[in-house]
A and B are shown apart, each in its own frame.
Chain A
């Protein structure tokens, strides 16, 4: 799986958008970008994933650059409960575009949302 690079920490004001960047310059054509977060010492929580198109769900939006070498996770209106470590993970897809393999976690970005 391709390596990812994320800033170690970021701050965001409550109610504002949090934009978390991730570089994955060696990503391959069959690798998806996944985002997870871990609040304190809880189990990691799935947020969103995508291949090359921008994706949105009830939690966040994922913007992937056209060359796929970087992406941005957007939390549109951050709350104090969004304070967590956010992980960007690149993961290969199998047949049909489905991924079954392990997740390889890096150090992630510690996002602190302040009042």
Chain B
């Protein structure tokens, strides 16, 4: 069964560094999403992406964040200058419409 994959599974970075989180969505899906979950808190929507552009973003998704689909398979989330409060699990999801399928997540730890 096709699934969403994410790399790396765990990323440790220093405050102020740039990180890129990678996702490979399910191949025939057209809608892509990033969510994050700070430890012990709710899953929060960050951004949705369709037809090579952002379709919706939350107030969390500020100028420090960007997304890209550099080729036909990858979907990336970049954080330009990480802060301590960016430490969280980051989940990628993809969809053809209706149900969204989530990846296993990348645990980002900012020190």
A residues neighboring B (CB under 8 Å): 34, 38, 41-46, 49, 87, 98-107
- Contact indicator A103/B45 (Cβ below 8 Å): yes
**How far does the Cβ of A66 sit from chain B's closest Cβ, in whole Å?**
23
- Contact indicator A46/B43 (Cβ below 8 Å): no
Query: Does B91 interact with chain A (Cβ within 8 Å)?
Result: yes
What DSSP secondary structure best describes chain B's contact surface? strand
Closest to A96 in B: B97
Q: Which range holds the interface residue count of chain B?
A: 20 to 34
**How far does the Cβ of A27 sit from chain B's closest Cβ, in whole Å?**
17
User: Knowing A49-B98, A101-B48 touch, does A42 contact B31 (C-beta < 8 A)?
Assistant: no
- Contact indicator B99/A46 (Cβ below 8 Å): yes
Q: How far, in whole Å, are A42 and B100 apart by their CA atoms in the complex?
A: 14
